[in-house]
Amino acid sequence: MKKLISLALAFVMCLGLAACGGNAAPAGNINDIAPAPTTSTPAPAASAEPAPQELTFVLSDEPDGIDPTVTNNSFAQYVLSNCFEGLVTYDSTGSIVPGSAESWDISDDGLVYTFHLREGLKWSDGTPLTANDFVYSALRVLTPATTAQYYSMLADYIQGAQAYYDGTGTAEEVGVKALDDTTLEITLIQPTSFFIDLVSMWCFDPVQKATIEANGDRWTASADTYVCNGPFKMEEIKLGEGYVLVKNENYWNADSVTLEKLTFRFILDTATALTAYEAGEVDGIRSISTADYARLKASNAGVNTIPSYGTVYYNINCSKAPYDNVLVRKALNLAIDRQAIIDNVVQLDATPAYSFLAPGYGVDGKDITDGRGTFGMSPNANVEAAQAALAEAGYPNGEGFPTLQLSYYSNDTVKKVVEAMAEMLKTNLNINVEISSNDWAVYYESVQKGDYEVAAMGWGADYLNPMSFLPLFKTGDSTNIGFYSNPAYDELVEKVMLETDPAAAAELTLQADAVASNDYACIPLYYKTNDYLMKDYVSGVYMTASSNMYFQNAVINK
């Protein structure tokens, strides 16, 4: 028996090491327009000792993976945007700039893109990176066993890609070719005006064949095998806790990188993260709870609000009566007081949305949505017009209107918004509203099946081009879960896809937008913003409207 007890005790005591997160010196951020890569560290004003160039940034969740060819998880971008560099990248103004490719040419028919890579590119392990690596990566994305979640970003546009994925075509037939070590040629199925925006996505990043062949799926599991090509490289991967990145000396532009160490720490509880920030234990945090937003903003605690290319909206099931009636959808749209939701419910610095298409994409320096109409809506509810539309649809004063089912997914903010919306619809239209919720997996499945009437949704664009929004209401598109269908809209979207002149594409985009918005295809609420906190002694960190955050120009000034 004694033996058994000691065994049990041994079991109890077999405790391993507690992993620790590095306590980097605080770093903060500035959302100003960072200049082109800073080449020198500003000298600290007073202190004789320069501040350690280390920064700790808190993320509110762990990504499901950090393989650029596999994941589409938004929490992966912090590692991917800073450890990898694709052919093109974004500068602090949000413009596409050369990345691994120094320049590129587009053939006159708009079908062939030739990328000229920089000379002497290297992987973080010091081995040379060539155009062949980009070919390998593209083929990896197009292999079903990779389970690349973004595979359609290649398959839908590149010649021979879908056939290769389906097993009916060969690798040689895929339109991604290395002409020599520094020249990469991509051939498209049809002219695609936004292809260069697509190329900025991480599914076009290069991954190293050697490490993947040696380690399989697990190449992302340890820092030693996580070979990358960006400004930073992986120093340590701590499961459930965070990542430690350090400067990558083999990066082509390593001289411009000042930051030596970048720690991403997962803190799921926003209150804990905020305490750590206010106590100076971390330099920045990614998510601010709405309850603290106003106070932090007022006290100049380092709130950065970045417009994000996305819209918060509610899907209306356009295939189901009475919601197939445009007048009913109009009534629902006009009965919502968007400003009240923004000011009193979500309490954000957001702009009311009257269309699903968010502002943020510019042509010739001018946002294409500038001067766009409001489709009869205003920041506040227009009760009379809403009631008139409902009456015209055959439900005067809401009489005879079936109980509206308003569904949402379990989330505190969404819950508050839904309750406010239900109240507005009840009061302004005199109809019954029933609210129901489910956790995301169950909810999303039923919405996809069309088993709903009005459902909370939102869209964050994957790439900075209106084309990332337009398919949402295109007939038959897998993302069209409002089941809206209008041939005029479909035709315009087809035209946008083929149009290579940005200005003409923008014009067509606005026409398409007007068609769907005048049909009230959904209930837009507000345009998304990204808010993060960064201490004021950090400069050079920037975030794009596609929510990618870049630390390569970060400097600690204290």
Partner 1 sequence: MAKYFAKRVGMMILSMLAICLITFSLMHAVPGGPFTSDRKVAEEVEAALNEKYGLDKPLPVQFLSYMKGLLHGDFGPSYKYTGKTVNEFIENGFPVSGRLGFITIVFVLLASIPMGILAAVRNGKWQDMLIMAAATIGVTIPSFVIASILVYFFSYRLGWMPSYGLDSWKGYILPVVTLGGYSVSYLARLTRSSLLEVMGQDYIRTARAKGLSEFKIITRHALRNALLPVITVLGPTVANLLTGSFVVENIFAIPGLGKYFVNSVSQRDYTTIMGVTIFYAAFLMAMVLVVDVFYCLIDPRIQYE
List residues near partner 1 by CB under 8 A. 1, 4-5, 8, 11-23, 62, 64-65, 67, 70-74, 144-145, 147-149, 151-152, 165, 216-221, 238-241, 265-269, 271-273, 275-276, 278-279, 281, 439-442, 444-446, 462, 478-479
What minimum distance in Å lies between the beta carbon of 62 and partner 1?
Answer: 8
- Interatomic CA distance for residues 137 and 203, integer angstroms: 8
User: Closest CB to partner 1 among 291 and 442?
Assistant: 442
Q: Which residue number, 447 or 510, has a Cβ lying nearer to partner 1?
A: 447
- Please report how close the Cβ of residue 202 comes to partner 1 at its closest, in angstroms: 13
Question: What's the min distance (Å) between Cβ of 97 and partner 1?
Answer: 26
Q: Looking at beta carbons only, is 79 or 386 nearer to partner 1?
A: 79
Distance CA 138, CA 207 (A): 9
- Residue 285 or 505: the one with the smaller Cβ distance to partner 1 is 285
Query: Which residue, 2 or 370, has its beta carbon nearer to partner 1?
Result: 2
User: Closest approach of Cβ 157 to partner 1, in Å?
Assistant: 14
- Least Å distance between CB 187 and partner 1? 22
The alpha carbon torsion through 355, 544, 136, 215 (nearest 10 deg) reads -110
SS3 96: strand
Among all chains, which residue has been given the structure tokens 């001067």?
371
Residue 267: C-alpha distances to residues 84, 91, 188, 296, 523 (Å): 24, 28, 42, 19, 33
Q: How far apart are CA 506 and CA 504, in angstroms?
A: 5
Residue 442: CB minimum distance to partner 1, A: 5
Kindly tell me which of 281 and 349 has the beta carbon lying closer to partner 1: 281
Looking at the Cβ atoms of 235 and 367, the one nearer to partner 1 is: 235
In the bound state with partner 1, the residue whose beta carbon lies nearer, of 118 and 238, is 238
Provide long-range contacts, Cβ within 8 A and 24+ apart, for 297-300: 297/349
Give the DSSP letter string of 137-199.
Answer: HHHHHTSGGG--TTTHHHHTTBTTHHHHHHTSS-GGGSSEEEEETTEEEEEBSS--TTHHHHH
Q: What would the two tokens of residue 393 be? A: 């649809």
DSSP secondary structure letter of residue 265: E
Q: Do residues 453 and 406 touch, judged by C-beta distance below 8 A? A: yes
Residue 57 CB, shortest distance to partner 1, in Å, is 13
CB nearer to partner 1: give 378 or 411. 411
Q: Which is nearer to partner 1, 278 or 349 (CB)?
A: 278
Nearest to 169 by CA among 161, 181, 157, 158: 161
Distances (CA, A) of 217 to 145, 223, 452: 10, 14, 38
Separation CA 264–CA 58 (nearest Å): 6
What is the smallest separation between the CB atom of 460 and partner 1, expressed in angstroms? 8
144, exposed or middle or buried, with CB in 10 Å at 0-12, 13-18, 19+?
exposed
- Closest CB 301 distance from partner 1, rounded Å: 13
* Residue 499 contacts residue 326 (beta carbons within 8 Å): no
- Nearest distance from residue 139's CB to partner 1, in Å? 15
Q: Which is nearer to partner 1, 194 or 266 (CB)?
A: 266
Whether residue 517 contacts residue 484, with contact meaning beta carbons closer than 8 Å, is answered with no
> What CA–CA distances, in Å, run from 514 to 40, 296, 509, 510, 528?
49, 38, 9, 6, 20
Task: Work out how close the CB of 426 gets to partner 1 at its nearest, in angstroms, rounded to a whole number.
Answer: 29
Task: Kindly give, in sequence order, each residue whose CB lies less than 8 Å from that of residue 49, ignoring residues fewer than 6 positions away.
Answer: none
What's the min distance (Å) between Cβ of 464 and partner 1? 16
Work out how close the CB of 512 gets to partner 1 at its nearest, in angstroms, rounded to a whole number: 20
Task: Give the span between the Cα atoms of 59 and 78, in whole angstroms.
Answer: 9
- Pairwise CA distance, residues 255 & 553, whole Å: 11
Cα–Cα distance between 472 and 524 in angstroms, integer? 13
CB of 228 to partner 1, least distance (A): 15
Closest CA to 315 of 389, 412, 391, 421: 421
For 325-393, the DSSP string reads SHHHHHHHHHT--HHHIIIIII--S--B-SSSS-S--EETTEETTTT---TT--SS--HHHHHHHHHHT
**C-beta closer to partner 1: residue 113 or 165:** 165
Cβ distance to partner 1 smaller for residue 21 or 359: 21
Q: Residue 177: how many CA atoms within 13 Å on its side-chain side? A: 14
Nearer to partner 1, 244 or 368 (CB): 244
* Distance in angstroms between the alpha carbons of the first and the last residue of the chain: 62
**Bond before 37 cis per omega within 30 degrees:** no
